[in-house]
Amino acid sequence: MTTAAEIMHSGAQWIPATETLDRAAQLMARLNVGALPVSDANERLCGIVTDRDIVVQCVAKGRDPSKVTCGDLAQGTPRWIAADATVEQVLDQMETHQIRRLPVIENKKLVGIISEADLSRHLTDRQIHDFVEKVYA
């Protein structure tokens, strides 16, 4: 049975909730990613910030990304999956909550992230079809 750890992109990095959005954008550019998990002071997941969030929720509203923190944008209940979860559990989480990225946690630490690109490399055409139908509905 395939697990979350087997399909995730390893090497994901936290960004502290206290870090500014300009720093988040710089880290995204350096890592060539479009999203970063946001951590609290105890390195616990408190949300995700995306490149789109920075543009739509900050820049487009005339806010200064050097003054707005990642924590300011990390709203709602963060979703994550255990490294030993099955692909079916991954899909259930992503489809149920209509999310496109899912942090993978092991022993309370971030070990990776699963994106749509990761799913496309590991799922059958039927599984991808069902995922797209449910997430983008």
pLDDT band for position 134 (cuts 50, 70, 90): confident
122-132 per-position pLDDT tens digit: 888 898 888 88
Q: Residue 37 sits in a domain of what CATH number?
A: 3.10.580.10
pLDDT band for position 109 (cuts 50, 70, 90): confident
25-42 per-position pLDDT tens digit: 999 999 999 999 999 988
43-52 per-position pLDDT tens digit: 889 999 999 9
Please give the residue that has the higher pLDDT: either 70 or 9.
70
Q: What is the 3-state secondary structure (H, E, C) of 72-94?
A: HHCCCCCCCEECCCEHHHHHHHH
Its domain, for residue 100, covers 4-136
Number of domains making up the chain:
1
Q: Are 95 and 38 in contact (CB under 8 A)?
A: no
